[in-house]
Structure 1
Amino acid sequence: MTKNVLDDVARRKMMAQFRSKDTKPEVMVRRALHRLGYRFRLHRRDLPGTPDIVLPRHRTIILVHGCFWHQHNGCRDARMPRTRQDYWSAKFQRNSERDVKITAALTALGWRVLVVWECDARKPDLATYLASVLGHVPSRAGHTEDEETAAV
């Protein structure tokens, strides 16, 4: 029985391919928000932690967390690697502490912070979930306020 173990060079090359911006789950959340009519800014460096998605009009920030990297409780994608568990345990602990610190800093600045997990971003009802969590429906593009109040 052979183990499927990568050498250091192959592992380093594989790990370098993971991106911190424009990940598939993040793009899925952005597409769903756009379809719902929300407009947003991406990766604002003037805010703590450079949040993934910022909805300035609604004072809301959406952080899209990878289940593995942020160790989503109860998720099958959040498994601890079998090798170098001391390293990974410390890494995940630092990630968790950083998440708490960033969320507290953003909240202190008056932002509402929502976390969307990678596994939730893959669900077909993502747009419904986002609409319910955000709690309001933005105005439709191309309509004036008079048309919207007349339609109600």
Structure 2
Amino acid sequence: MRTLRPDPAISKRMAGIKQKGTAIETAVATVLRELHLHYRKNVKGLPGSPDFANRSTRWAVFVNGCFWHHHTGCAKASIPKSNAEFWVAKFQDNRRRDANAIRRLRRRGYCVVVVWECHENRIHAKLSKILKRSSVNR
């Protein structure tokens, strides 16, 4: 079986892409504060290490980049032409891992919200779901 590997030059370029503190993450943090939702960032102790989470009220938010998490139907979710086989496998693994983390969190009773990079104008509406669920559970 052949092991798929990315081109070293492309790997170096991709490694330079910011992973934390992105504009969309900052926007999500701002909306969470506006909604008076207290959170911890990058919670390693929960499945998938959510970008934002509150264990006591059981909610988690994943902020996904459209390229890396291969957002279905999004123009930013392109497949690089060089070494396409590697990228298709990588995106499938990423999506499988994401779905598994969400499933595990929901089994634990968490409200899980995924905010996509391209959905900047929908952040408030998506995060309001947490507030509605939290008020029902109080």
* TM, length-normalised to structure 2: 0.81
How far apart are 1:19 and its partner, in Å? 3.2
Alpha-carbon distance in structure 1 between the residues aligned to 2:112 and 2:102:
7
Alignment check: 8 A CA contact 1:33 1:39 kept: yes
Alpha-carbon distance in structure 1 between the residues aligned to 2:82 and 2:64:
23
How far apart are 1:13 and its partner, in Å? 3.4
Identity of aligned residues (%): 36
- Matching of residues 90-129 of structure 1 within 5 Å: 90-120=89-119, 122-123=120-121, 126-129=123-126
- The count of residues paired between Structure 1 and Structure 2 equals 129
Alignment check: 8 A CA contact 2:47 2:104 kept: yes
1:138/1:89 Cα in 2 relative to 1: closer, same or farther (>3 Å)?
closer
Aligned to 2:3: none
Bigger Rg, which one:
1
Alpha-carbon distance in structure 1 between the residues aligned to 2:126 and 2:44:
27
Q: Give the counterpart letter for 2:105 in structure 1.
A: L
* TM, length-normalised to structure 1: 0.74
Alpha-carbon distance in structure 2 between the residues aligned to 1:138 and 1:110:
12
How far apart are 1:137 and its partner, in Å? 9.3
Alignment check: 8 A CA contact 1:65 1:116 kept: yes
Which runs of at least 4 in structure 1 moved beyond 6 Å after TM superposition? Answer: none
- Matching of residues 1-152 of structure 1 within 5 Å: 8-9=8-9, 11-120=10-119, 122-123=120-121, 126-131=123-128, 133-136=129-132
Q: Give the counterpart letter for 2:41 in structure 1.
A: L
Superposition CA RMSD, Å: 2.3
How far apart are 1:105 and its partner, in Å? 1.4
